[in-house]
Amino acid sequence: MQRPIYLDCHATTPVDERVLAAMLPYFRESFGNPASVGHLYGWEAESAVKLAREAIANSINATPEEIIFTSGATEANNLAIKGVAEAYHRKGRHIITLQTEHSAVLDPCGYLESLGFEITYLPVKSDGLIDLQELEMAIRPDTILVSVMAANNEIGVLQPIATIGQLCHERQILFHTDAAQAIGKIPLDVQAMQIDLMSLTAHKIYGAKGIGALYVRRRHPRVTLAPQLHGGGHERGMRSGTLYTPQIVGFAKALEIAIASQAEEEQKALTLRQHLWQKLSELESIRLNGHPKLRLAGNLNVSFRGINGQALMLALQTIVAISSGSACSSAKSAPSHVLKALGHTDELAYASIRFGIGRFNTLEEIEIVANHVVESVRSLRNS
């Protein structure tokens, strides 16, 4: 049986063969612990981690000391938000974020509320973008952190990160961005964009699962964090635990490839997405979710009025791997909080599908998927 076409690249991506090849030596002969300073095995691993850290730092205009490796963006978000809250609570206990953030931002914020912090969850405009005036109005003297994602994982919209960074810095408020979907797909420069903390992950850019990083600014201002994992004092005490050399090496390789091919991949994804949208537009009563232009090239999120997204996914499951407007956060089957924040009814949120186009998709695949979706939506609407 043929495997379904993979169009769920916001959930994860396959490991690129070049990334895998870069990782393999560190599973095999160079398996040492980078913290073992007394022998060749340790030196090899340590030097590989050092090079990877430098490459990752360079790619976002940071310094190597500003990179803390984590198990992924979930952990990076937790470390950033809870770590800042714990370190700065004497300065203030108010944090601002968006209603459309990933649960790895929303849930740490909810946890902080239970400890007595106050969180403002800003609404977004109907195109998914932040209202900068609302942000300015929400800022208070006791605001210590603003956390706004760079690119949304459901509707792909790109928030005006540089503007938010400037706004925060003018008021001496720390700015964190969850860049799990943005890294490698749009240029990210922590200096130009005045970002203080940035969460990254490898598995959305053809690296392995289980590795990510938190960028933590060291100058202008120097950000302090309360560690959330205590132990051997790795990562300058901010995140203990033996470093995963193969995953770290692979992360750097994945990022290098993504940045080198960014313009080309963006153009290709855009072409495929436009083709998909054009074909889907044969259907009546469909609606594009999220800003039409300020979005990731590979993202298309569509509401098909009158159908159930889960039913459509089920009808198509042998053809294509996609996500519905309810399945975005693990096993939850509540309507997507992101689509709800755009003003969708539960019904319209449930009628939505997310297509995530990636590096290995072809026009032929898009053609097949589009035809099946059109056919299935028509038959579901008629039944």
Q: Which residues are catalytic?
A: 328
User: Who's near 106: CB < 8 A, 6+ residues apart?
Assistant: 97, 121, 337
Q: Which of residues 150-169 bind ligand PLP (CB under 6 A)?
A: 153
Q: Does 361 bind ligand PLP (CB under 6 A)?
A: no
Whose Cβ is closer to ligand PLP: residue 177's or residue 376's? Answer: 177
With beta carbons less than 8 A apart as the criterion, state whether 158 and 179 touch: no
CB of 111 to ligand PLP, least distance (A): 16
Give the pairing type, strands 299-304 and 174-178.
unpaired
Determine the interface stretch with ligand PLP among 71-79, 112-120, 158-166, 232-240 (rule: CB under 6 A): 71-79
Choice from 62, 79, 129, 149 touching ligand PLP (CB under 6 A): 149
Query: What one-character-per-residue DSSP string does 173-215 give?
Result: -EEEEE-TTTTTTS---TTTTT-SEEEEESTTTTS-TT-EEEE
x-or-dash string of contact with ligand PLP, 204-243, rule CB under 6 A: x-------x-------------------------------
Number of Cβ within a 10 Å radius of residue 267: 11
Q: Does 80 bind ligand PLP (CB under 6 A)?
A: no
CB of 338 to ligand PLP, least distance (A): 10
x-or-dash string of contact with ligand PLP, 98-137, rule CB under 6 A: ----x-x---------------------------------
Choice from 180, 238, 276, 366 touching ligand PLP (CB under 6 A): 180
Angle between the 73-88 and 103-114 helix axes, to the nearest 10 degrees?
30
Whose Cβ is closer to ligand PLP: residue 59's or residue 152's? Answer: 152
For ligand PLP, which residue has the nearest CB? 72
For 178: left if phi > 0, alpha if psi spans -120 to 50, otherwise beta; the answer is beta
Whose Cβ is closer to ligand PLP: residue 209's or residue 372's? Answer: 209
Number of residues that bind ligand PLP (CB under 6 A): 14
Whose Cβ is closer to ligand PLP: residue 42's or residue 210's? Answer: 210
CB of 270 to ligand PLP, least distance (A): 20
- Give the chain's end-to-end CA distance (angstroms, integer): 28
CB of 354 to ligand PLP, least distance (A): 11
Q: Token pair of 338, please?
A: 């992101």
Identify whether 292 is preceded by a cis peptide bond (ω within 30 of 0).
no
The span from the CA of 269 to the CA of 22, in Å, is 26
User: Who's near 226: CB < 8 A, 6+ residues apart?
Assistant: 82, 83, 86, 87
Q: Does 72 bind ligand PLP (CB under 6 A)?
A: yes
Whose Cβ is closer to ligand PLP: residue 8's or residue 365's? Answer: 8
CB of 373 to ligand PLP, least distance (A): 23
Look-up of token digits 């569509």: 302
CB of 178 to ligand PLP, least distance (A): 5
Whose Cβ is closer to ligand PLP: residue 93's or residue 203's? Answer: 203
Query: What one-character-per-residue DSSP string does 13-64 give?
Result: -PPPHHHHHHHGGGTTTT---TT-TTSHHHHHHHHHHHHHHHHHHHHTT--G
Whose Cβ is closer to ligand PLP: residue 16's or residue 178's? Answer: 178
Q: Does 178 bind ligand PLP (CB under 6 A)?
A: yes
The span from the CA of 12 to the CA of 121, in Å, is 27
Q: Does 181 bind ligand PLP (CB under 6 A)?
A: yes
With beta carbons less than 8 A apart as the criterion, state whether 64 and 57 touch: yes
Is the dihedral angle over the CA atoms 70, 73, 75, 77 positive or is it negative?
positive
Q: Token pair of 196, please?
A: 């203080």
Choice from 59, 201, 289, 324 touching ligand PLP (CB under 6 A): 201
Binding site for ligand PLP (CB under 6 A): 72-74, 102, 104, 149, 153, 178, 180-181, 201, 203-204, 212
